[in-house]
Each structure stands twice: as C-alpha cells, then as structure tokens.
Structure 1
Amino acid sequence: MGATVFDLRPGVGIGPFSIGMPICDAFAQIEQQPNIYDVVHVKYHDEDPLKLDIVISFPDHGFHLRFDPWSQRLRLVEIYDVKRLQMRYATSMIGGPSTLATFVAVYALFGPTFPGIYDKERGVYSLFYPGLSFQFPIPNQYTDCCHDGEAALPLEFPDGTTPVTCRVSIYDNSSDKKVGVGKLMDRASVPPLPPGSLYMEEVHVKLGKELYFTVGGQHMPFGASPQDVWTDLGRPCGIHPKQVDQMVIHSASDPRPKTTLCGDYFYNYFTRGMDILFDGETHRAKKFVLHTNYPGHADFNSYIKCNFVISVGESEAEANRGGNKITPRTNWEQVKEILGECGPAAIQTQGSTSNPFGSTYVYGYQNVAFEFRDLAEMINASGLTLAPPKFHFLWRSHRFGTPQRSSQALAVRRDAAACPLLQRACLALSTQRSNAMIVRAMSASFGDMSDDSSAVFPRINVKDPYKRLGISRMASEDEIQGARNFLIQQYAGHKPSVDAIESAHDKIIMQKFHERKNPKIDINKKVRQVRQSKVVSFVFDRFQTPPTAFLVKTAVTFAVLGALTVLFPTEEGPTLQVLLSLIATFYFIHQRLKKKLWSFLYGTGSFIFSWLIGTFLMVSVIPPFIKGPRGFEVMSSLLSYVLLWVASSYLR
C-alpha cells in the first residue's frame, strides 16, 4: 500500500477522486484499479438514506469519500489516518509511514495562512487553507498555548516537539467555508453543476401522458417510437429484450396467448436513471421506469439517480400550489396522503443469494406503480435495537449494467422507525385491472439479464482463488460457499466461467482442509494480536518520539556521565555521577511535561526502576566486563544511564 502515491489537490480532490463527482464515477474509478482499491467499504443509513452521507471507505489507505445523500455527489474527502496515505503536492511528498505530516512540514510545504481554530472540547487545532484543512491533536499539557476559538498555534511546543497531523479534509473552496472536524464537517457542500449539465436533471411527469426533461426541453409521450426516443435522448446505454414475462399469469385481461414468450424490449438509459419499455408488436413506448438509486436496493449503482417530479392534480399549476408532488424524497406515508389508500402490496423477491438486500414492495395506482423497500421491517422493528448487518454489496457499472465486483458494505441502522423511501416509480397507461399494472411493474427492467447465457465471468483468468471468488482469506466456509453459489447462478450459461469458479472454490476448500490437518502458527498474526492487546497498547501509548535535537541533547548528557563513571572510578563508587543522572532525568522530563509534580514522580520512578533492572541484569544475566574493585557498581550505573536516557527522552 505504501507504494501508491495520491496527488493532493486542495479544493479539487485526491488522486482520481474529484469534489463534485457522482458516486457512479467513483465506483468506476475503483473498478478500473482493483489492485489498488482491494478493500472497499460502503456505509449508509439503512432506514433513512437521506439522513447521513453515503461513505466509501478505503481502510487500507486511511481515507473516506463522503457523498451528499440527495445528489450523490462527492462533497468531502476525509483522510483519517495520514500515516497510511502517501500524498504528493506539486513535487513534494507528505504523509505516509516515512514522511510525517507535522505542523512544521505542513507550514513549510503550503506556506503561511490565517490563524486556525482550536476546539477545546475535542482538543484539536484546525489549520485552514483554501479547500484544505489540517487537524492537529494538542496534548493536555500544552492546551494553555491555545485559546478556544480562533487562535494561532506555535510551530513548536516548549519542549521542542511539533504537533503531527491526525486528519486532513479536502472540500470545495468556492463557498469560502472552513471545514474541519465535528460540526465544521457539515459545512462541506458539493460545488454547483456546470450550466447545461444533465446530471440530476428534473424530469416532470404527467401521469398517463408524458415526461418532460427540463434541461433539454424534450417531451417524451407514451406511444413514442424508438426513433423519437433516439432523436430526443440519444443512443441508449443498452437494449435488452424482455425474454420472459414471468408475471403474465396474473393478467387475466392480457389478450396474448398465455406463454412464457415476450417480444417486448427495454431501452436502458443508465446515465439518466430510467428505462423505457417498448411493445414488441407496435414498437411504441408503453412504460417508463424511473430509478432513485438509493443504497440498499439491488439495482444500486446500475443507474444514475433520476430526479423526477410527479405532479398530481387537474393541472400542474394546481399540483404545485397544493404541494401534491411526488419526488425521490417522498416516503410511503406521504404518497398515501397524496394519492389515497390502495390495495395490498405485491412482494418482489429474488432470494438472499441473488439479492442480499431483501424483498421490495410494489403498490399500484392508476397510471403509476411505486416500489418501496423494508416495509415489513419498518412495521416489526419499531422500538427495537437492530445490530448493523454485514453483507456483500454488489455494484454494477452504470454503462453496462452487469456485475463487476463485490465489496463489504455496512448499513447503519437506528432505533426509531421510519417510513420507507421510494425506490423507483413505474409509469404505465391505464389498465382494466390494477393488479396487472402492479405485476408488470415488477418485471425486471433489464429484461432477463440475470439469465443471460452469454455472460462471461470477468475474473475468469485471475490466478488467486480468493480474488477470483471476490472474498477475503479470512472468509468463513459459509461465505466461501455463498460466493460460489452466487457466481454459479450468475454465469451458469457459460461453461468456462463455471469451471473457473468451481476450480477456485475447490482450491480454497482443499487449502482449508490442509490447514486443519497441518495447523501452523502464524507468527505475524500472533505478533499483531500481542501488539493490539490492551496491556501492550497501554505501554506503547506511554512513549512518544521526541525531536532529533532533543534526542541528541539527552544522549550526549548521559554519554558524558557514562564516560566520567568509567574514566574516574572512586573507592566510594560513582555516587556523584548517579546523583547528576537523577538531576538530569528530572530536568529533561520537566522540559517535556512542564509539570513539576509529574516530573518528580516520573523521574523518581524511572530512577528506582532503572537501578533495580540494572542490578538484576548484572547479578543474573550480564557478567562484569569492567575489572576492578568497583566494576560491579560501574556496570550497573552504565545500564541505569541507558534506561534513564530512554525515560528522559521517550516517556510521555
């Protein structure tokens, strides 16, 4: 991971990720470089996707991408572990394990700026540049150097140390807002879209009549021909036949023979968040499917979000005055207030293997059907505490609509019940039976892509069996079997793909069996477990690396004391040198802590501990190298000087 260098662009972004980019473009960048972005987490609020940011996290690189939940555009890049991310600004490096992002280094690289803001409650000082901010933790003993609110921070503390960056924020600088941690994080906003941009274009819907695209000014009526659609919207991203009409059994009024054959076909406009269904006989548009692209739906990232506005009323002006508008923000209770009650919902489910996100619920009205998610969960989960579930999150390329890769996603839940948000709207002409409209709305927008026998497994040539199945090496047997079953179902029609999946599965199973038969001790894992234990972590937290100048000063002092002890031994022993070492310990610790009581306690404890350890080592472990009547005392003193130097220089 350390070999990857990300270009730091204040106010613009980091690496290939730019402020204001849609979330689908971010996923496309991730898909293009799977070796760099090997571990990706997607986090969102499961019950109310509009409440919190959609976050794409890269734990191996130590940074987040925060997307505005409504527009699904990048508003903030948050680097939370600067030691893991090697950044390049112009021609200089900063961050990463080798180049500490200290206050001095930041000031030297980015130049002077205005005084920052000190958050006394969090103990963090924020330094701001246009579109860029750095956060520095301030130790408790130096809080007097800063005042709550706007304040200047000295380049170095009284002991010569300089604060090290704990967090970096990159955001749009057009609004001239200061973005940092806590409440300051909410100030980051997405930049305005360029004039004429089709992203999040408002699509006004007149039920049973037409769609109106506000940016381009196109009118798309029911009954439009494919030529009309190509002329107004351009070439579709995909054309997929609706090979099987699985819901025809529910439509008693359907005049066609009750067979499983269907000549209808879809135009997929992934970049506009919609599908258009054409009748296979008349070749006229008979249904529009508008997608909200909320996370937690099986089609997430297959489409860009469609920003539709459905006006309900005798006229659009009347609907606007009365507020009777249905948008992607509208929840089910609001839909019922506008359109009234309707019959029971039809349940659409594909099973947990094909769709780990659960069932959706489709409600039908005249000329329109709505699909919602988690309705049953909302009814049953009121007042309960739900644990955040983990599952494999499937995203699709919005250009092709085919599965690309999987990543772990975390859905953040809350106790309070909430109304489900609209997942997609299906617009159709009036039918004689409402249930026929509902079930037709439930048919797949992609036609039958999941059953496409020509689909080829994209990782068919990947040698690593774990990467081929898209799982980690720590995956359980259930996860391995689940990944195998899911991929076999997706690519069942392509024998080489099935063989590659089965081969990877067999290799992993045999490897697991061999590991159980011949268990090996993972030294790295054991060391990592020891390092992460509470006791060892507490010990390591008691030490910190001081500046080089301070290290040299303490080392020279104790080296001189050691030389005096060896060169000028006395019959009474090195009493004077030992006393000087105790005074030096008090002095150096006080220089760093600036607290007399703590300096005395730390110094006394270090002195007693060092002499006990030195005496023990000389008696039990180390033979005396220095001959003479006081050789034992001299060697004990030298060992004590080394331990006192460590305590004076590194003890926090």
Structure 2
Amino acid sequence: MAPLLDIDIRPGYGLGQFELGSSLWAVLDLLTHHQHYFPQVDVKFDPDSPVSPVILHLRPHFDLLFSGYHQRLHTICLKKLQDPHPPVLLQYKQTPLSSQQQALTRVGVSRAFGPTYAGEDLRYPGVWFSFEEDGRGDTSARKGGSPNPEEKTQEVKRVIVSQKSVNDAPNDEPNDVLSEVRECPVMRGDISKAIVKVHDGVTLHFYPSTVEPVRIRIGETTAQDLTCDLGPPMSIHYREDDRMTIHSKSTKENEEINTGCMTHLPGTPLFQRYKRCPWAIEGDPEDDEDDTPPRKWYYDRVRSSRGRNICCNKRC
C-alpha cells in the first residue's frame, strides 16, 4: 500500500516537505532519503543553456521549478489530488481540504481562504488554485464575474505556491519563472556568492546579507581557521587516480579542454554531488584609481587562447 502524503499549504513559503528558496542540492538530498514517497523523479532542463531553469517532476503529484542561476526552489505545483498512488491529504492550518474521500472544490477554497478577486482561478498572496489540468483554461473568463452555481462545485486540479508578490498586485500574479528567488529564511547560512581574487584568495558571502563575509587567504588561512569559520566538512573528496587516461582515445585537443573538468549533468554520477555556489573570478584593478576590478561570473563566456568561446559554468 502506498504511503499517505500528508501535505500542508504554507502560502508564500512552501508545500508539504518543500520550502521555497531551498537549493536544488538540498531537495535532491531530501528525495534520496524519502524514496518510498517519491520513487520516480524526472529532471528536465535545457542542455544548451547551463543557467536555464530546472524542473523536477515527482510523479504523479509534484512539479518543482528551480531558478536558473542560483538553482533555488521558485515554484511548487501540486496536481492530481485524487490520484491514489500515493494518496494525498491536503491541509491548511491543520484543517483538511482534500483527501481520497473529499475533493477540493471552488467553494471549499473560498471557505478556507476567504473571498478573492473574480476570475477563473482563485488567486491569493503566495498560493493559487487552478481548475484546469494544464493551466490552459479560457483566459477570457479571468476578467471578472461571479461563478454560476455549477462552477462552485468545480474540482481543483492544481495548487501552485510561490513567493508573495512584492507589488501587492490585485491578483498576486506569480513571479516570472525566469526570475531569481528572493532572500528568505531557508537560505540562512548558505553561501550567496564566492569572489575568487587572483593571487590572493576567496571571499565567501553568506545569507543573510548582513552576515560578515569570510576571507580565505592564500598562504595565510589554515585548516583550523576554516573549521572555525565554516564548521566541519560534510565529506572529503579525493582526486581520483587518472593514470589510465593514457589509454583514452580522445585527441590531444580534447584532452586539453577536458582535463580537470567534471561533467555534472543529470544522469551522471557527479550530478548534484556539490551544491551550486555562484562564483566570480576577479583580477587586479587596471590602475590605482580603478574601483571596479575586472570580474567574470560563472555564467559568463570567455575566449580561450585558441579563440574558442568557453562557458565557465557547469550544471552542478
């Protein structure tokens, strides 16, 4: 018998086990430890764009959308509420909304969340309810008007949770799917960015932005310093023995490009072994009066000595 999914709605913050703003790495780690709830996970992304959004399909109930640059959970979609594989119990403030015995309808949403602006979907700050399987309903019906008696019994097909609008828009339209997630409590303690300064070291910036950054200096910072500042490591990674690469059939040209690089694409063993860290390489200022030293971000393209365009980023 499939385990029951007990899911609570937290408008603007999360849905069930999932918190908006969580990293892709953290969510995949969560799914690894709850395979009995989520046995089938599909990863979709644009292989031609290393900073495209990433979508996790947790069949049959969840679609999780992650932002492209920071890979943070942007939008959560819950669907197929009446699918019994596994069964879903949906609650709001400990009040059941939907179960295998009780379908969630338009009138049920109104009773739990109160009135909202007229339209085909019921939209509230941080959460909205759709009555279409794929969101392709008649857009003309969204302009206004009260639902007729038959519409009151419409069954909710999808529940979407995203961060609350900062503009207090009347219909609280979800944030653009290509936008980044705003800073929120679940990010606390994570690295927001790492600035690598040539011949000097690395400066680590953390969430929240009020936290003092940590500077790691070449020739100065010790292992003990790092342990005090960052805490003990989760694991230690050793360089693998690469002596057998002499038997590789790759050309010398390809070896120069691939040596030391790791492919972290979905489906490979190293995918999400590391949490994405937004980083930039910073050079020396051009002169003493230059307050903006040259800087290249991980998503920028640079030209190699052979004139090739190389993208700094790996989807890891």
TM bucket, shorter chain: 0.7 to 0.9
Asked whether the 8 Å contact 2:191–2:205 carries over to 1, the reply is: no
Asked whether the 8 Å contact 1:210–1:220 carries over to 2, the reply is: yes
TM-score (norm 2): 0.73
One-letter amino acid of the structure 2 residue matched with residue 131 of structure 1: G
Three-state SS of the structure 2 residue aligned to 1:239 is coil
Asked whether the 8 Å contact 1:48–1:420 carries over to 2, the reply is: no
- Root mean square deviation of aligned Cα: 3.9
Residue in 1 that maps onto 2:80: 81
In structure 1, distance between residues paired with 2:105 and 2:67:
31
Residue in 2 that maps onto 1:423: 314
Higher Cα Rg: structure 1 or 2? 1
Asked whether the 8 Å contact 1:171–1:179 carries over to 2, the reply is: no
Of 171, 193, 217, 2:213 maps to: 217
The 5-angstrom pairing of residues 589-628 of structure 1 reads: none
Three-state SS of the structure 1 residue aligned to 2:111 is helix
Asked whether the 8 Å contact 2:122–2:128 carries over to 1, the reply is: yes
Three-state SS of the structure 2 residue aligned to 1:86 is strand
In structure 2, distance between residues paired with 1:72 and 1:302:
14
The answer to whether structure 1 residue 54 and structure 2 residue 27 are counterparts is no
One-letter amino acid of the structure 1 residue matched with residue 42 of structure 2: H
Residue in 1 that maps onto 2:155: 164
One-letter amino acid of the structure 2 residue matched with residue 55 of structure 1: I
In structure 2, distance between residues paired with 1:329 and 1:306:
12
Moved over 6 A (4+): 289-294, 316-320
Of 258, 261, 271, 1:300 maps to: 271
In structure 1, distance between residues paired with 2:149 and 2:186:
47
Asked whether the 8 Å contact 1:49–1:295 carries over to 2, the reply is: no
How far is 1:329 from its partner? Answer: 1.0
Residue in 1 that maps onto 2:283: 312
Residue in 1 that maps onto 2:118: 116
One-letter amino acid of the structure 2 residue matched with residue 235 of structure 1: P
The 5-angstrom pairing of residues 234-633 of structure 1 reads: 234-242=231-239, 244=241, 246=243, 298-315=269-286, 321=292, 324-330=294-300, 334-336=301-303, 340-342=304-306, 420=311, 422-423=313-314
Asked whether the 8 Å contact 2:44–2:55 carries over to 1, the reply is: yes
Name stretches of at least 5 consecutive residues in structure 1 with no aligned partner. 118-124, 250-288, 345-374, 376-418, 426-652
Residue in 2 that maps onto 1:201: 192
Tell me the percent identity: 23
Residue in 2 that maps onto 1:370: none
Spell out, residue by residue over 1:58-83, the C-alpha distance to the aligned partner (whole angstroms, 9 max, x if none): 113x2211111211111111123232
TM-score (norm 1): 0.38
How far is 1:169 from its partner? Answer: 0.8
How far is 1:294 from its partner? Answer: 6.6
Spell out, residue by residue over 1:339-370, the C-alpha distance to the aligned partner (whole angstroms, 9 max, x if none): x52499xxxxxxxxxxxxxxxxxxxxxxxxxx
The 5-angstrom pairing of residues 33-44 of structure 1 reads: 33-44=34-45
How far is 1:310 from its partner? Answer: 0.5
In structure 1, distance between residues paired with 2:268 and 2:197:
26
Spell out, residue by residue over 1:219-259, the C-alpha distance to the aligned partner (whole angstroms, 9 max, x if none): 3233344234334433222235557463898xxxxxxxxxx
Spell out, residue by residue over 1:513-566, the C-alpha distance to the aligned partner (whole angstroms, 9 max, x if none): xxxxxxxxxxxxxxxxxxxxxxxxxxxxxxxxxxxxxxxxxxxxxxxxxxxxxx
Residue in 1 that maps onto 2:209: none
Greater share of strand: 2
- Number of corresponding residues: 286
The answer to whether structure 1 residue 152 and structure 2 residue 145 are counterparts is yes
In structure 1, distance between residues paired with 2:32 and 2:186:
29
Three-state SS of the structure 1 residue aligned to 2:121 is strand
In structure 2, distance between residues paired with 1:195 and 1:109:
26
Three-state SS of the structure 2 residue aligned to 1:335 is strand
In structure 2, distance between residues paired with 1:195 and 1:168:
21
How far is 1:28 from its partner? Answer: 2.4
Relative to structure 1, the CA distance from residue 170 to residue 193 in structure 2 (aligned partners, 3 Å threshold; closer, same or farther) is: closer
The answer to whether structure 1 residue 3 and structure 2 residue 9 are counterparts is no
How far is 1:149 from its partner? Answer: 4.7
Asked whether the 8 Å contact 2:56–2:65 carries over to 1, the reply is: yes
Relative to structure 1, the CA distance from residue 104 to residue 308 in structure 2 (aligned partners, 3 Å threshold; closer, same or farther) is: same
Three-state SS of the structure 2 residue aligned to 1:422 is coil
The answer to whether structure 1 residue 133 and structure 2 residue 128 are counterparts is yes
Asked whether the 8 Å contact 2:20–2:75 carries over to 1, the reply is: yes
Relative to structure 1, the CA distance from residue 167 to residue 243 in structure 2 (aligned partners, 3 Å threshold; closer, same or farther) is: closer
In structure 1, distance between residues paired with 2:13 and 2:233:
31
